[in-house]
Chains A and B, each alone.
Chain A
Amino acid sequence: DTGVSQDPRHKITKRGQNVTFRCDPISEHNRLYWYRQTLGQGPEFLTYFQNEAQLEKSRLLSDRFSAERPKGSFSTLEIQRTEQGDSAMYLCASSLGTDNYEQYFGPGTRLTVT
């Protein structure tokens, strides 16, 4: 049983650069979530997919952020023109569906914007 995987685990980038993160959910899970966790805080919801459809986006997800899940399997989160305030841990989670409310989390991608 492979869990949720995320790549890369760490990313250091210069301000203004674009970055893309990948999340591979547990294979039979049709729901996928992105969260952001800053130092000393709990995860904050960013967006949610059911299969390939993006059904909800947080106001935290500015125009510079875009997420996709093209075939209902893996997902990517892209941040354009990164800012220092984007430095955080980006967490991906997946869940099975309406009868299972548990979200399974990946190890996260730690982004540092210099």
Chain B
Amino acid sequence: AQSVTQLDSQVPVFEEAPVELRCNYSSSVSVYLFWYVQYPNQGLQLLLKYLSGSTLVKGINGFEAEFNKSQTSFHLRKPSVHISDTAEYFCAVSGLYNFNKFYFGSGTKLNVKP
């Protein structure tokens, strides 16, 4: 089975500052990795995904993430955040041969202040 740890439950940051949201996973098999964003009262929207290939993945809204197999991490970054990035962010993992099931972390609430 797989599991995901998001170390920070809340991250406050000022507008236009850079941000990194941390995600570590545990798995005995190769994995696919995902970041989703959830705005208040809305469903989850995919930001980006790592399936294979380049370890640096670019997503929507200027976000990117880097897959680090040795550190079992998939941290999400954005060089300059906007007020509109205020939301909750979830990291998710699925096993290479059981991609029907996503395991989600507990989420990180990003609060962008003016």
Contact = CB atoms under 8 A, between A and B. Distances in A.
Interface of A: 3-4, 31, 33, 35, 40-45, 48, 50, 55-56, 91, 93, 101-108
Interface stretch (B13-21, B43-51, B65-73, B78-86): B43-51
B86 to A, nearest CB: 17
Q: Name B's interface SS.
A: strand
Given A91-B44, A101-B32, A105-B43, A42 B94 contact: no
Interface residues of B, number: 26
Contacts, number: 58
Interface of B: 4, 6, 9, 32, 34, 36, 41-46, 49, 51, 90, 92, 94, 99-107
A103 B100 CA distance: 9
A35 B34 CA distance: 16
B107 A48 contact: no
Contacts of A4: 43
Contacts of B42: 107
Nearest to B109: A40
Contacts of A3: 43
A104 B46 CA distance: 8
B57 to A, nearest CB: 13
